[in-house]
Each structure stands twice: as structure tokens, then as C-alpha cells.
Amino acid sequence: GAGVSQTPSNKVTEKGKYVELRCDPISGHTALYWYRQSLGQGPEFLIYFQGTGAADDSGLPNDRFFAVRPEGSVSTLKIQRTERGDSAVYLCASSLSSGGFGELFFGEGSRLTVL
């Protein structure tokens, strides 16, 4: 596709449920990032993939959050036992550069609301 695609665009779930958010990066981009953006805040780094491996997952807030990128393209962010504080827009970005000064191309985000 022409840009980074994220699905679903909106997700409403109940506290305690499990959710998956999908990111389809720009073809050929080896680096993939997940960020979380709360209202009025800047994007908060969660995890960075270089190819299939998580090169840096230091931003994941706790062990309820997990992300995979099994074939080095599509990535899924998984959140277990959701809490109201998890409500935010989850942004995915990809970059052509493998650890260089590359522009991040963001998706439109997945807005998660935990009731």
C-alpha cells in the first residue's frame, strides 16, 4: 500500500478483555515502531522492531503488553487484561532506515477505548 495501515481504526472494549492491534508498514521498510499517544500528549515510545526481532521493548509499560512481527512485515500489538488507563491512540510507524536518521512514516492510529 501507499502508506502505513492500521486496523482497527477504533476499538471499544471492556476492562479485562484482550485486544489486538494490527500494523501493516510501508513495503520494504525494515524498521517498525509502536507508540501510544494520550490526549494532549506527545507519542510515547513502546517498542521498536528491526526485521522480525524486537530491538528495543523498553517502552512497554508492563507485561500485559506484547508485540510481534513474525515475518518482518506486519506487526501486532497485543494487550491482555485491558485497563481503563490503556485508553489512547496507538500509533504505528515504519522507516526505511535500519537504525539511521530515517523519517518515520506514521499510520492513522488505532483509537482504543477501555470502558
Partner 1 sequence: GENVEQHPSTLSVQEGDSAVIKCTYSDSASNYFPWYKQELGKRPQLIIDIRSNVGEKKDQRIAVTLNKTAKHFSLHITETQPEDSAVYFCAASTINSGYALNFGKGTSLLVTP
Whose CA is closest to 29, among 2, 57, 60, 9? 2
Residues pairing with 12 in the sheet: 113
* Cell numbers linked to 26: 510501508
Grid coordinates given for 82? 485491558
Query: What angle is formed at CA 50 by the lines to CA 49 and CA 52, rounded to 5 degrees?
Result: 75
| Segment interacting with partner 1 (CB under 8 A) among 14-22, 47-55, 60-68, 72-80 | 47-55
- The smaller minimum CB distance to partner 1, of residues 31 and 82, is found at 31
Cell digits of residue 73: 512485515
Q: Which stretch binds partner 1 (CB under 8 A): 20-28, 61-69, 76-84, 101-109?
A: 101-109
Interface region with partner 1, contact rule CB under 8 A, candidates 7-15, 19-27, 72-80, 90-98? 90-98
Are residues 6 and 106 in contact, defined by beta-carbon separation less than 8 angstroms?
no
Site for partner 1 in 54-73 (CB under 8 A): 55-56, 58-59
Contact residues toward partner 1 (CB under 8 A) are 31, 33, 35, 40-45, 48, 50, 55-56, 58-59, 91, 95, 97, 99-104, 106-109
